[in-house]
Amino acid sequence: MGKKIALITDSHFGIRKDNPIILKKQEEFFSKIFFPVIDKLEIKNVGHLGDVFHKRKEINFLTLEASKRMFFEPLKNRNIDVFCVIGNHDTYYTNTNDVNSVEYILSEQYNWKSYRNPETINVLGVNVCIIPWITKENKEKCFKELEQTKAKILMGHLEIQGFNITKGHPSLKGLDPEIFKKFDISFSGHFHIKSSNKNIHYLGTPAQYTWDDFGEPKGFHIFDVETKKLTFIPNKIEMFKKLIYNGPDSKIENITDCYVKIYVENNDAIGLEKYIKEVENNKPIEVKVINNKRLNVKTLEEDENGIQLGNTESIITDYIDKIKNDKIDKENVKTFMLDLYKEALEVK
């Protein structure tokens, strides 16, 4: 038999300046993948592990309307019980979870149970330890709950050391993974890449939002609280596509409403121009042409500062690593610069 619930996290409704095409792709995920599985398995309990909306301080009404229609209303219509762990994007302040969008929008209008403080709750008769985003204000309570709880299952919105923030970039700060040894299985939202190590699982976002999500598994999970079996339900709807131009026969796959990068391997200018026009006729959101031939010298060798060129994040981190100054906390500078870079990407 078992007792199955669905786990979803980091929906970030309204991400990238309330981008309507991301909302459209999210809607496709909920209507074609999420709810059909919920119905088929007759799921009546859903856990959201934080960052329901993207913006911490305000809501765009187009985003609110779309998220109600694609997610909140269909859950309510099915009489599904939702519990929600407050994440860092849900809160107005950074030093407390007290004022948060989930309580004002979802607890009041949709009867979602939300947890801004740690608590051990009962899900289908099984104890689950809930740890929301840890702030200055709830820190002590969180560590006390982690220590005292009798639950064997943990669900949180946490920053844990060693787990990937983006592909190949593990977090150097955060909680010690040893803390979670006492649990049989732990789940967390926060980092958007799906990754697991031992009994700790970052579940990943349900859909792609940025180039960091390219090629990464996206979707949601079914978890049996009794047998502790975890099943991944993939969302194969993609938004980020890489194309290769290597001559007149180069393929164009389905790229409508997608962010596209064209990697040029054959530099015949007339053919390439024709290809780019054809790509644009398919109505992608954005096309970037990456001309390897032109960048050849620099991608293969180190530039004069000894920095290997790669993606923007690794250029930033590599550069900071190469700074010869022991007085600065390089990890702090890296986090700051990467946050700044992410924020810059958000600006239209």
Q: By the criterion CB under 5 A, which residues form the site for Mn ion?
A: 10, 51
**Least separation, in Å, of the C-beta of 53 and Mn ion?**
10
- State the Cα–Cα distance between residues 132 and 117, nearest whole angstrom: 6
Q: Which amino acid is at 93?
A: Y
In angstroms, the CA 13 to CA 104 distance is 15
Q: Which residue number, 226 or 341, has a Cβ lying nearer to Mn ion?
A: 341
**Beta-carbon contacts of residue 169 (< 8 Å; ≥ 6 apart):** 313, 314, 317
Which 3 state secondary structure label does DSSP give 259? strand
State in angstroms the smallest separation of the CB of 334 from Mn ion: 19
Min. distance of Cβ 125 from Mn ion in angstroms? 30
Angle, CA 289 vertex, CA 284 and CA 290 arms, to 5°: 140
How would you label 32-55 residue by residue, b for 16+ Cβ within 10 Å and e otherwise? ebbbebbeeeebebbbbbbbbbbb
DSSP alpha helices (H): ranges in the chain? Answer: 15-18, 20-29, 35-40, 61-67, 73-77, 101, 108-110, 139-148, 269-281, 292-300, 312-322, 330-346
Q: Which is nearer to Mn ion, 10 or 145 (CB)?
A: 10
In this structure, are residues 114 and 87 in contact, taking their beta carbons and an 8 Å threshold? no
CB of 87 to Mn ion, least distance (A): 6
Q: Which is nearer to Mn ion, 4 or 157 (CB)?
A: 157
For every residue of 260-323, DSSP letters joined together read: EEEEES---HHHHHHHHHHHHHT--SEEEEEEHHHHHHHHHS--TTSPPP-SHHHHHHHHHHH-
Measured from the CB atom, the residue of 10 and 18 that comes closer to Mn ion is: 10
Burial of 186 (0-12, 13-18, 19+ CB in 10 A): buried
- Report, in Å, the least distance between residue 192 CB and Mn ion: 6
Nearer to Mn ion, 119 or 213 (CB): 213
Nearer to Mn ion, 10 or 119 (CB): 10
Minimum distance of Mn ion from residue 158's CB (angstroms): 11
Closest to Mn ion by CB, 213 vs 238, is 213
Distance CA 96, CA 101 (A): 13
For 42, the 3-state DSSP assignment is: coil
Least spacing, CB of residue 51 vs Mn ion, in Å: 4
- The residue among 4 and 192 lying less far from Mn ion, judged by its C-beta, is 192
Comparing every residue's Cβ against Mn ion, the nearest one is 51
To the nearest whole angstrom, how small is the minimum distance from the Cβ of residue 212 to Mn ion?
12
In terms of CB distance, is 123 or 193 closer to Mn ion?
Answer: 193
State the pairing for strand pair 113-115/259-264.
unpaired
Nearest distance from C-beta of residue 279 to Mn ion, angstroms: 31
For CA atoms 162, 219, 44, 86, give the dihedral sign. Answer: positive
Measured from the CB of residue 256, what is the shortest distance to Mn ion in angstroms? 27
Instruction: Give whichever of 7 and 225 is closer to Mn ion, judged by the CB atom.
Output: 7
Query: For the CA atoms of 138, 141, 143, 147, what is the dihedral angle to 10 degrees?
Result: -160
